A and B are shown apart, each in its own frame.
Chain A
Amino acid sequence: MAALALRRHSAAARRVTCGAALAGSLLNLASSAASIFSCTPTVISLPFGNPVFSWAIRLDPLSAYFNVTLALLAAAVSLYSFGYLREMEGRRNLGAFGFFYNLLLASLALVFTASNAFFFLAAWEVMALSSFCLISFEHEKEKTRKAGLLFLIMSHAGTGLLLIAFLVLSSASGSLDFSSFHLLASQMPPLRQGMVFLLFLLGFGVKAGIIPIHIWLPEAHPVAPSNVSALMSGIVIKTGIYGMARVFFDFYGPPPLWMGTVVLGLGVASALLGVLYALMAHDLKRVLAWHSIENIGIILMGFGAALMFRSLGQPSLAALALIAALYHTLNHAMFKGLLFLGAGAVVQATHTRNMEKMGGLIRRMPFTALCFLGGAVAISGLPPLNGFVSEWLTYQALLAGFGTTQSLTRLMFPIAGSLLALTAALAAACFVKAFAIPFLALPRTSQAAEAEEASLPMRAGMMVLVVVCVALGLGATWFVRVFDPITQQALGVRISSAVVVARGLALSPGTPHGGTISTAGIALLFMLLGAVFGLPFAMRWKRRSVTGPVWDCGLPGLTADNEYTATAFSKPLRMIFAALYRPRREIQAEYEVSPHYPSAIHFESRIEFTIEKRLYGPLRERIMAAANRMKSIQAGSINVYLAYIFITLILLLLFGVRG
């Protein structure tokens, strides 16, 4: 399937690009879906390479699950790209785009399936480089180049950490094969075990975008073309999640308790700070990028809880938390992909990413608005869509955690739960902003007033993801069975028969008398109430209604300037969380006669990114200082460089002889 996605890369036409990607994704979907349920993992060893660096692919349930996620998203995004790329035709090098696009998809499939550390890192690097090329696609803009560079630096720092971690593991096992790492990490001495854990957490965490190593994410995701943003936020950051799942639940046995605590804490911090910064962003795609950090935090909360339950000897609770995390992973890929595709359609129609310059798009782009609304409801965790189901499972896991230990650690669970509630409520507030400001009320600029609906393939791509979101929400009881092979492999338990109750109608946490939920039931009742009470009255009232102007306080007419802006909407939160944001504003009024009659007012408001300033500011200065000091050894003469190489060689030889 990887070969198929790559096959026609040199062809310049977008049709071939998207067609190949679509076909590859569908094939990938079929093969992965089939192998989730087959008990024995499929192992394919490609017929080249040597025994140490074997190019082996292994499709076990965990890999297959992430591959299904990839395939679903890639199929929808490729469909969308048929239309999205049309505008760039003739102006940009679509051949190169297609090459890197397909390379990215192929490398993603390989990252999820590689069963050898060397092969994994190779695919990981190809993924990083192809996403770098895609991010920098609109490279004539200064901001894009900067964001791409930041991404590259952070990504390589992460890969470096992973390399060290894998080398430590392989020196213990004597092989680079993933199967030889199984449960190996737990047999190492505690100090080394902890070190490897932290290396993996940071290495994969950079890719996943957990706070405080997230700084590349809100820069890089907005500047990429929107179909790439959808892939980046939907699935590329999930490679970090996949890596953590692989390491924590395959390489490690029951870990020490502190590891789960660290992951849970990082999850809470990422979720809360992610959403708080999202509230202050007014670039539509940047809002979505910050929300990716928030959702990664929610996924990590599930992971952290699962790790803690594993340490405490509660495999079925660990399975519940793991299901919550993995379910949210898939859900986030779907609704975030959908939201980025919707944002892409909006940006293409209005030629701006600034929400304050949009408005009223629901009339010009009704279909896109509906899809975006679906994504917004899903990501806010509102019933009956899919975000609600996975957040509900996370709550249940956290709630059950309180009874698992007698130590003070158990206080972490309810507090994490209440902060998850805060996160979800703030996310809802943020998506009221992200939907209402661009789509509702009056258009704020002429571009917004003349926006045109997205083309048919773009609408089809969004539609696919809306359908998946609804299906994952309403069909939760059916879908939960998919996790049985995964929890069987990772934790040795299958809990779907305990989780699905009431003849497949409702979900429960699997504990006796635990609370139940039925999204299908809620949706059904909504439709029932709507049909019985809604329709007859709605018709009758419609006939009695007239349209009229909005109350404008007696002023002559309401204009777009009177509307509430995104900045105004988030103002109360900016004031309440002023300690975090440290907001500053500058107002300059120009006047001719008297200060009471200004001719122009210049207003500027900005917030401070504490982590960037306090953590990365000094770090960057140190690195620059060190680089300046190292300048002296770079004389520019080839003889000196040859001497360096010679000295290095001698040192390595000496080292080798002694070892």
Chain B
Amino acid sequence: MIERLIESVTQFFLLLALAPLVTGVIRTLKARLQTRRGPGILQPYRHLGKLFGKGMVIPDTASWIFSATPWILFFSTALAGLMIPMVAADAPLGLFGGVLAVIYLLGLGRFFLALSGLDTGSSFGGLGSSREMTISALAEPAMMLAIFTVAIGAGSTGLTEIAGSAIGQNWRFLAPAQMFAFAALALVLIAETGRIPVDNPDTHLELTMIHEAMILEYSGPYLALIEWAASIKQLVLMTLLINCFWPVGLQHTWFGFGALQEIAWLLAKLLFLSCAIVLLETVNAKMRLFRVPELLAVAFTLSSLALVSTFLF
């Protein structure tokens, strides 16, 4: 009980601390690849600090939904983060929910974010909400099918069990079912975190924006909460992907030197995945909105192939 508490608190603060760093690393790497200098990997922290220190402008058309959303989004994302195996294979709150709870908690945050996009009465907000809900709905079947494939292998939707079954099989990701499921989930990750080619996280006031359009009216600490939650969500999904498919270095130990080793591995794997994302973002252009369903259909096909290959091989 006490151990779980310590683990939860550790993972909670690790999530909070690490999330802006991952965002910063991705941005800097991307800038370097495009022969720009970039603002440095610590910029997201400075940005959050600045926003937390500012006052806020609340639109006069907004209701309490507008003020409640940043909190609900932040808490639900953080809770989802406590249910994934991050430091060790045992998720601190694995008892409270597995992969389904993670997806649905993220869904809860998205539900309220979409509501607050429509709450202000600005057309930009509605536009963002409509697109966000559409894309996330279309990403869902591919994600669930890929997760089912993984869960069938582990016989459980509990992430502790899924990660646990992967430990000791470092080369399992070469199995066709795993590779297809990984590819499908990677595509879903891109769609869910609003990255190129689905959405561009760096633009504002373009007619192509999705996530940024919903939060256009937020300012100050609320904006900071939302941006922090977005980077936590990105970290959660990335960690989920690497620890379920590529458990190199993952152990069951939570304390002592073993834990430090695990965290070092985690950071190395996150860096590798970030590089992959940066590469993908740099060599691709943003898609037209109505081409995105095709990308997600590809993801669905990949996860179907993953499912079929579980009993072919």
Give a binary string over A404-428; 1 marks a CB under 8 Å from any B CB, 0 the rest. 0000000100110111111011101
Cβ–Cβ contact B121 & A377, under 8 A: no
A399 with B148: in contact, given A526-B79, A563-B126 (CB under 8 Å)?
yes
Within 8 A of A (CB), among B41-97: 54-61, 63-65, 67, 71, 75-76, 78-79, 82, 93-97
Q: Which residue of A lies closest to B54 (CB)?
A: A544
Most B CB atoms within 10 A — which of A418, A517, A521? A418
B152 at the interface (CB under 8 A from A): yes
Contacts of A546 in B (CB 8 A): 55-58
B118 at the interface (CB under 8 A from A): yes
Cβ–Cβ contact A511 & B155, under 8 A: yes
Q: For the complex, what is the distance from the CA of A441 to the CA of B62, rounded to whole Å?
A: 6
Contacts of A530 in B (CB 8 A): 71, 75
Contacts of B107 in A (CB 8 A): 380, 382, 425, 428
Cβ–Cβ contact B104 & A418, under 8 A: no
Interface 9-mer from B26-34, B137-145, B238-246, B264-272: B137-145
Q: For the complex, what is the distance from the CA of A411 to the CA of B121, rounded to whole Å?
A: 45
Give a binary string over B97-141; 1 marks a CB under 8 Å from any A CB, 0 the rest. 111110111011011001100111111111101110110111111
Contacts of B158 in A (CB 8 A): 513-516
Within 8 A of B (CB), among A388-408: 388, 392, 395-396, 399, 402-403
Question: Of A392, A521, A564, which one neighbours B100 at CB under 8 angstroms?
Answer: A392
Cβ–Cβ contact B134 & A548, under 8 A: no
Contacts of A564 in B (CB 8 A): 118, 123, 125-127, 129-130
Binding site for A on B (CB under 8 A): 54-61, 63-65, 67, 71, 75-76, 78-79, 82, 93-101, 103-105, 107-108, 110-111, 114-115, 118-127, 129-131, 133-134, 136-145, 148-149, 151-152, 154-158, 161, 216-217, 220-222, 289-290, 293, 300, 303-304, 307-308
A601 at the interface (CB under 8 A from B): no
Question: Of B56, B97, B139, B304, which one neighbours A517 at CB under 8 angstroms?
Answer: B97
Contacts of A415 in B (CB 8 A): 145, 304, 307
Q: For the complex, what is the distance from the CA of A420 to the CA of B142, rounded to whole Å?
A: 11
Question: Of A392, A411, A436, A572, which one neighbours B131 at CB under 8 angstroms?
Answer: A572
Cβ–Cβ contact B111 & A428, under 8 A: yes
Nearest-neighbour CB distance to chain B for A522, whole angstroms, equals: 6
Cβ–Cβ contact B111 & A380, under 8 A: yes
Nearest-neighbour CB distance to chain B for A181, whole angstroms, equals: 38
Cβ–Cβ contact B119 & A441, under 8 A: yes
25 A-B pairs (CB sep. < 8 Å): A380-B107, A383-B108, A399-B157, A415-B304, A417-B148, A421-B144, A425-B136, A425-B137, A436-B118, A441-B120, A442-B121, A511-B156, A517-B101, A522-B79, A522-B96, A529-B78, A544-B56, A546-B56, A550-B120, A550-B121, A552-B122, A562-B122, A572-B134, A572-B289, A573-B134
Within 8 A of B (CB), among A529-553: 529-530, 534, 537-538, 541, 544-552
Most B CB atoms within 10 A — which of A382, A421, A522? A421
Binding site for B on A (CB under 8 A): 362-363, 377, 380-383, 388, 392, 395-396, 399, 402-403, 411, 414-415, 417-422, 424-426, 428-429, 431-432, 435-437, 439-442, 502, 505-506, 511-518, 521-522, 525-526, 529-530, 534, 537-538, 541, 544-552, 558, 560, 562-564, 568-573, 575-576
Nearest-neighbour CB distance to chain A for B290, whole angstroms, equals: 6
Nearest-neighbour CB distance to chain B for A298, whole angstroms, equals: 14
Cβ–Cβ contact A383 & B111, under 8 A: no
Contacts of A395 in B (CB 8 A): 100, 157
Cβ–Cβ contact A515 & B99, under 8 A: yes
Contacts of B78 in A (CB 8 A): 529
Contacts of B79 in A (CB 8 A): 522, 525-526, 529
Contacts of A380 in B (CB 8 A): 107, 111
A403 with B140: in contact, given A429-B134, A548-B59 (CB under 8 Å)?
no
Cβ–Cβ contact A411 & B56, under 8 A: no
Q: For the complex, what is the distance from the CA of A501 to the CA of B263, rounded to whole Å?
A: 31
Cβ–Cβ contact A518 & B97, under 8 A: yes
Cβ–Cβ contact A382 & B104, under 8 A: yes
Contacts of A399 in B (CB 8 A): 148, 151-152, 157
Contacts of A377 in B (CB 8 A): 108, 111
Q: Which residue of B lies closest to A436 (CB)?
A: B118
Cβ–Cβ contact B61 & A576, under 8 A: no
Nearest-neighbour CB distance to chain A for B123, whole angstroms, equals: 5
Cβ–Cβ contact B140 & A425, under 8 A: yes
Contacts of A403 in B (CB 8 A): 152, 155
Q: Which residue of B lies closest to A382 (CB)?
A: B108
Cβ–Cβ contact B104 & A383, under 8 A: yes
